[in-house]
Amino acid sequence: MPSAVKCLILLIVQSVIISGALIAGDSSLDSLAQIRITFRVSTPSNANTGIIYISGNDSLLGYWAPDQVPLQKLPNSFWEISLRFSRGRHIEYKFTHGSWKTEALGPNGGIPDNHILKVDSDTVIYHHILAWKNMTMVNQTVSVAGDVRYHRNLIYPGLRPRDLIVWLPPGYETDKDRRYPVLYMHDGQNIIDSETAAFGQEWQVDETADSLISSGLMEPIIVVGIYNTSDRSKEYAPGDFGTRYMRFVTDSVKKLIDQNYRTLPGPEYTGTGGSSQGGLIAFMLVWEYPAIFSKAACISPAFRFKGVDYIATVKNTGRPEKDLQIYLDLGTVGLDSILTPQLNGIINALRDKGFRSEKQIFMYIDRNAEHSEKFWARRFWRPLMIFWGADDE
């Protein structure tokens, strides 16, 4: 390939912006100014096997649903969509052919990090996609470590059906008299199996827990992953959907797990965890249901967004009677940098309620980490060790 062509492709791959700047930074949801962002994608004809979709962290981008926001086909292998966002909005997005098993690959042939955009001025953003992930390109070996069970199509009034994945610790089948603490995690399809993970990047909870348990650093626990649905943004927030989802977890999911597995059902043995809005709903569960949960792992949590302010809720409600352990962490890049004031706000609210940071609030800042599964996976050992680290005795 001529070097000039290579340079041109490289420039396009790096998302050249015709007007405006691609900058990750602070956002203001109060601005009413509507900014037109045009996403224009080119792809070689032999790489184009179907409709191209954009998926991201906004309702206009389908809230990460991979098949909800199609681009329009233009001549000469171009696809395009124009959307209007509020000025200052922080956007993260990717492209797919309709599922996360067919997402766009990066220039090195790997799964790329999220594209990041701060909405500042009317802008045309170009992407050139050379290849797409598909089943022939994915390693067909099973990515799950350990004993995993599935419960399919769970139904609860007012909610969409969903699956559960249950990871059992080493020794579960051999030590029949032992009972185990349980960690209930949200966005469950992302935590264990890369084949079901939204972006092909799992949290590696199974490998991490298996390693810590097998090395004697952590006591054995059961991990339950509760899959999300297209109503995720409403279920993981205060409101009718959030209330129903929490009741689903407390009344249906926990009951099923306690009936079918050898659990330690008390709140002192029961935790919950998640990331972003999943971190918020984990906090909400431990705050509003302390008789069921005593531990919450809130990874890159979002406490304020689109009219939601759970920091104010904490300030205006009484402290739960039970002792709680709350782990909070955050990166410093992109969206996580924007969430920093929220993290400080919730910590101050908890301290005002009498929580002691050395025993009940645990905070970690992951320098240079972004708001993505890759970075959540690399630090999830921290809450596991805080909650269930083996005694030194």
Residue 31 belongs to domain with CATH number: 2.60.40.10
* Domain co-membership, 204 together with 322: yes
For residue 32, being part of any structural domain is answered with yes
Name the residue with tokens 């949960």: 293
Could you tell me the two tokens for 91? Answer: 């956007």
Mean per-residue pLDDT over the chain, rounded: 84
pTM: 0.69
**pLDDT at res. 199:** 62
β-pairing verdict for 222-226 and 295-299: unpaired
**pLDDT at res. 14:** 37
Task: Quick: pLDDT tens for 113-132.
Answer: 888 888 988 888 888 887 88
Q: What is the number of residues in the chain?
A: 393
- Asked whether the predicted pLDDT for residue 19 surpasses 70, the reply is no
For residue 374, being part of any structural domain is answered with yes
For residue 138, being part of any structural domain is answered with no
For residue 135, being part of any structural domain is answered with no
**pLDDT at res. 24:** 31
Percentage, residues of the chain above pLDDT 70: 84
For residue 134, being part of any structural domain is answered with no
The boundaries of the domain holding residue 51 are 7-128
**pLDDT at res. 134:** 72
* Domain co-membership, 111 together with 247: no
196-200, 226-230, 375-379 — most confident range: 226-230
* Domain co-membership, 97 together with 174: no
Q: Mean pLDDT over residues 269-277, rounded? A: 96
For residue 348, being part of any structural domain is answered with yes
CA 344: distance to chain centroid? Answer: 21
- Asked whether the predicted pLDDT for residue 76 surpasses 50, the reply is yes
Q: Could you give the C-alpha distances from 20 to 117, 119, 122, 225, in angstroms and in order?
A: 10, 9, 7, 41
- DSSP notation for 153-191: EE--TTS--EEEEEEE-TTTTT-TT--B-EEEEESGGGS
For residue 1, being part of any structural domain is answered with no
**pLDDT at res. 27:** 37
Q: Which residue has the higher pLDDT, 318 or 15?
A: 318
Q: Could you give the C-alpha distances from 362 to 4, 122, 306, 329, in angstroms and in order?
A: 52, 42, 27, 8
**CA quadruple 287, 292, 294, 300: dihedral, nearest 10:** -60
Q: Mean pLDDT over residues 317-342, rounded? A: 91
* Domain co-membership, 241 together with 376: yes
**pLDDT at res. 107:** 67
* Domain co-membership, 288 together with 326: yes
Task: Quick: pLDDT tens for 298-322.
Answer: 999 999 998 899 999 999 999 898 8
16-30, 44-58, 219-233, 345-359 — most confident range: 219-233
User: How many CB atoms within 10 Å of residue 170?
Assistant: 15
Which stretch of 22-26, 190-194, 221-225, 315-319 has the lowest confidence by average pLDDT?
A: 22-26
The number of domains in the chain is: 2
Strands (E), 43-119: 53-56, 72-74, 78-86, 90-96, 115-118
Confidence of residue 32 (pLDDT cuts 50, 70, 90): low
Rounded to the nearest 10 degrees, what angle do helices 277-288 and 240-247 cross at? Answer: 70
CATH no. for residue 362? 3.40.50.1820
Helix (H) or strand (E) holding 12: helix 3-13
For residue 117, being part of any structural domain is answered with yes
Task: Quick: pLDDT tens for 232-268.
Answer: 999 999 999 999 999 999 999 999 999 999 999 999 9
Confidence of residue 45 (pLDDT cuts 50, 70, 90): low
Q: Mean pLDDT over residues 163-179, rounded? A: 94
**pLDDT at res. 357:** 76
* Domain co-membership, 353 together with 215: yes
* Domain co-membership, 117 together with 157: no
Q: Residue 384 half-sphere exposure, CB side, CA atoms within 13 Å?
A: 26
Last residue of a domain, one of 128, 161, 179: 128
* Domain co-membership, 155 together with 57: no
